[in-house]
Amino acid sequence: MAIKVPPIGTVTTLWQTRAVAAVNEYKVNVGTAGQTWQTAVDNAEDEWSMGVNQAVSTHAYPRGTQGKAALYTDKAVNIGGVRYGPGIQAATNAYSTGMGKVLNVIANVTLPPRMAAGSNMARSAAVADALHQAKLAGQV
C-alpha cells in the first residue's frame, strides 16, 4: 500500500508559515546555544576527520556540487543580495577589531631597503611572514 502524503504545495506553505512565525523562538534558542555548540565542536575533531575522509573516499564534494551553478547564482543574487548590506552593518565592529590587529602587525614590520623595480619581493615577503607568524601565534 502506498503512503499517503500531502501535496508539496501544502507542505511548503505550512513550513513557510510556521518558520516565519518562529523567528522569536529561534532568536531565544540560538541566543543561549553558544556554550553547547562550543563544547560539541571542541570534542568533535575525530568525527570531523572521519567525516572528511569518508567524503573524500566517496567523492561527495563533486557529487554535491555538479550542476549547481544556476542554484548558486540564484541564491547568491536573490538571498545574498538582500542580506549583504545588513550583514556588512552587523559585522562592522568585528571587522574593525580584526583588521586593527592585522594593521598593527603590518605597522610593526621593518621593511628591507627598496631595490630596483622588479626586485622588491623581500619587502612583500617580510609583510607576509609577519602576518603568517601572527596568525600562528593567534594574534590575528
Domain assignment of residue 74, yes or no: yes
Find out whether 103 and 128 touch, Cβ atoms under 8 Å. no
Q: Confidence band (pLDDT; 50, 70, 90) for 42?
A: very high
- Measured distance CA(128)–CA(33) in Å, rounded: 37
Domain that holds residue 72: 48-93
pLDDT of residue 5: 86
Domain assignment of residue 125, yes or no: no
Summary mean pLDDT of the chain: 93
Domain assignment of residue 24, yes or no: no
pLDDT of residue 118: 86
Q: Confidence band (pLDDT; 50, 70, 90) for 1?
A: confident
pLDDT, tens only, 110-128:
999 999 988 899 999 999 9
Nearest-Å Rg of the Cα atoms of the chain is 24
pLDDT, tens only, 68-97:
999 999 999 999 999 999 999 999 999 999
Q: How many independent structural domains does the chain possess? A: 1
Domain assignment of residue 69, yes or no: yes
For residue 68, what are the CA distances in angstroms to 41, 62, 71, 77?
Answer: 29, 10, 5, 14
pLDDT at 20 over 90: no
Domain assignment of residue 102, yes or no: no
Domain assignment of residue 15, yes or no: no
Residue 11 Cα to chain centre, angstroms: 30
* pTM for the whole structure: 0.59
Domain assignment of residue 43, yes or no: no
Domain assignment of residue 78, yes or no: yes
The angle at the Cα of 88, spanning 17 to 69, to the nearest 5 degrees, equals: 65
